[in-house]
């Protein structure tokens, strides 16, 4: 990411599953950028193009009128800011976390800003970081024409079994302990089998296991303790969690069922009435 920004590669895309440390990498990146780089950090953007331009300018320390400005005015403001930074030999970087939340129209607007036609605009770097489905969005028909400007892209992979062990050992070393003192080998294998190399889940599971071990006055975390911790955190298992249906959908489903029942009841009453009328006529 640093190399792409320093070499002004334009649009940089980084993806990874939830929990692999994307946001942590962003903060490390922002910390390591030098004074010649002005950065705006936007998290989980769910606004239109005008709204994201306002957020970017504010994060860059630029004044934005209360109550908002029209889009044309914001574009003029932003291009003027880029020109000023270019004259100073500076780079402007827009870092967007959870970029999969961006609307395609917003992405298109941002990509049009990063045009190589003007030297000052060429100093603009856009870094999109998000879940793997961001890649699918970038492959859409609307955005495929900008793919030649996405010169750097990568996916943060999950940790291997050995990397997971080294990760746990590193965290324990920070407290002055070794992994062999705290976890059995079988317990570590079970941690990896459950977390599948996801650092966030490794953290949660090990933390839970240490708490269970402490509660049981156990000198070491073994497979039995890990099994208990896994049972407590089973909702984190890959493919296990299924979000409940949104309330508005449940309501619609309920109304649909009521309409069907009302319809069936109406049909029943109708045929009962016909039968009663025919029976009365026959009796006459």
Best CA proximity match to 1, nearest among 51, 37, 35, 49: 37
State in words which class domain 161-236 has.
mainly alpha
pLDDT band per the 50, 70, 90 thresholds, residue 281: very low
Model pLDDT for residues 26-85, shown as the tens digit of each residue: 999 999 998 899 999 998 788 899 999 999 999 999 998 876 778 999 999 999 999 999
Look at the chain and count its residues: 284
Instruction: Examine the pLDDT at 250 and tell me if it is beyond 50.
Output: no
Provide the 8-state DSSP code for 21.
Answer: S
Q: Could you say which architecture CATH assigns to the domain 2-156? A: 3-Layer(aba) Sandwich (3.40)
Please give the model's pTM, rounded to 2 decimal places: 0.75
Model pLDDT for residues 115-140, shown as the tens digit of each residue: 666 666 678 999 999 999 998 888 88
Query: By three-state DSSP, how is residue 117 classified?
Result: coil
CB 10 within 8 A of CB 151: yes
Query: By three-state DSSP, how is residue 222 classified?
Result: coil
CB 150 within 8 A of CB 111: no
pLDDT band per the 50, 70, 90 thresholds, residue 114: confident
């Amino acid at each position: 990411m640093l190399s792409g920004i320093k070499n002004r590669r334009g649009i940089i895309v980084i993806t990874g599953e939830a929990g692999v440390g994307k946001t942590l990498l962003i903060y490390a990146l922002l910390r390591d950028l030098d004074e010649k780089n002005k950065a705006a950090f936007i998290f989980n953007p769910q606004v239109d193009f005008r709204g994201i331009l306002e957020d970017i300018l504010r994060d860059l320390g630029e004044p934005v009128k209360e109550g908002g400005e029209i889009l044309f005015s914001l574009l003029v403001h932003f291009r003027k800011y880029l020109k000023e930074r270019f004259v100073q030999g500076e780079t402007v970087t827009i870092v967007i976390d959870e970029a999969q939340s961006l609307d395609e129209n917003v992405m298109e607007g941002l990509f049009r800003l990063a045009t190589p036609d003007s030297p000052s605009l060429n100093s603009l770097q856009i870094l999109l970081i998000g879940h793997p489905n961001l890649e699918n969005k970038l492959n859409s028909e609307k955005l495929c024409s900008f793919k030649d400007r996405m010169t750097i892209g990568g996916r943060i992979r999950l940790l291997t079994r050995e990397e997971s062990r080294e990760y746990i050992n590193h965290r324990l070393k920070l407290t002055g302990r070794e992994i062999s003192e705290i976890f059995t080998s079988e317990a570590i294998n079970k941690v990896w089998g459950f977390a599948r190399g996801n650092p966030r889940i490794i953290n949660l599971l090990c933390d839970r296991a240490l708490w269970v071990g402490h509660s049981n006055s156990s000198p070491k975390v073994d497979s039995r303790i890990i099994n208990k911790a896994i049972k407590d955190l089973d909702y984190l298992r890959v493919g296990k969690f299924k979000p409940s249906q949104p309330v508005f959908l449940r309501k619609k489903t309920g109304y649909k069922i009521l309409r069907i029942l009302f319809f069936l009841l109406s049909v029943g009453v109708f045929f009962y009435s016909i039968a009663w009328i025919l029976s009365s006529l026959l009796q006459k």
